[in-house]
Chains A and B, each alone.
Chain A
Amino acid sequence: GDSVTQMEGPVTLSEEAFLTINCTYTATGYPSLFWYVQYPGEGLQLLLKATKADDKGSNKGFEATYRKETTSFHLEKGSVQVSDSAVYFCALSDVGGTSYGKLTFGQGTILTVHP
């Protein structure tokens, strides 16, 4: 079945540092890929997505490129802020054209940014 693997956390950075959170996936077809963010005490919010190979999703300074050849969707940000402290989830949608609202999630990566 489908699966998503994220880099082990937690990740601790100083403000303005460069961020990379690795994400790789296994799927039989051509899934859509997502990054969701969960701030403390809140629900999940969509951060960015990409629906086909070589697409780049971007939002709030975060970027991720859908790499079919390496089955990866790594999240990057050039300069993190304290307000970026959150849990980040990589996810993919079900393959086959219809997702029926189903996502397969990675285990989540906790990011803490210090001033």
Chain B
Amino acid sequence: NAGVTQTPKFQVLKTGQSMTLQCAQDMNHEYMSWYRQDPGMGLRLIHYSVGAGITDQGEVPNGYNVSRSTTEDFPLRLLSAAPSQTSVYFCASSYDGSSGNTIYFGEGSWLTVV
């Protein structure tokens, strides 16, 4: 009963490095999204996808890239890490786009950029 799985859980990067946060879900959900969590700011949407091959920007997309080649996977790429990207990242998924639909979250990835 895996749900939404994120890897890695912890990562330290140097400024300018690139990396990919992996996200996979086994619930056959069409909708997937990435959020970042910063103190006092709640969670903010980075990118989202409404199905394989379809992605769109959220509230804070700069410095991040996504793709959705399969229904199950939705990786988040940091192109050139900056200290401002130090945050906790959450991947989420939901079955469909209805407003009251429950959204499921992964356990988070703690990223520090030095």
B44 / chain A contacts, CB cutoff of 8 Å:
105
Question: Looking at the complex, which one of B33, B41, B42, B43 makes contact with A101 (CB distance below 8 Å)?
Answer: B33
Tell me which of A34, A51, A96, A100 has the highest count of chain B C-beta atoms within 10 A of its own C-beta.
A100
Give the interface segment out of A13-21, A42-50, A72-80.
A42-50
Give the CA-CA distance A49 to B31 in the complex, in Å.
19
B99 / chain A contacts, CB cutoff of 8 Å:
31-32, 51, 93-99
A32 / chain B contacts, CB cutoff of 8 Å:
99-100
Q: Identify the closest chain B residue to A8 (Cβ).
A: B40
B92 in the interface (beta carbon within 8 A): yes
Q: State the main secondary structure of chain A at its contact with B.
A: loop
A89 / chain B contacts, CB cutoff of 8 Å:
42-43
Closest Cβ of chain B: how far from A55's Cβ, in Å?
9
Q: Are A100 and B97 in contact (CB under 8 A)?
A: yes
Closest Cβ of chain B: how far from A99's Cβ, in Å?
5
Number of A-B contacts defined by CB within 8 Å = 84
Number of interface residues of A (CB under 8 A): 29
Number of interface residues of B (CB under 8 A): 31
B42 / chain A contacts, CB cutoff of 8 Å:
4, 89, 91, 105-108
Q: Are A43 and B107 in contact (CB under 8 A)?
A: yes
A45 / chain B contacts, CB cutoff of 8 Å:
105
Chain A contact residues, CB within 8 Å of chain B:
4, 31-32, 34, 36, 42-46, 49, 51, 89, 91, 93-103, 105-108
Ranked nearest first, the 3 interchain pairs of A and B with the lowest CB-CB distance are: A101-B31, A105-B42, A51-B100
Q: List 16 A-B contacts (CB under 8 A).
A: A32-B100, A36-B105, A43-B108, A46-B103, A89-B42, A89-B43, A96-B99, A97-B98, A99-B98, A101-B50, A102-B48, A102-B58, A103-B45, A103-B92, A105-B44, A107-B42
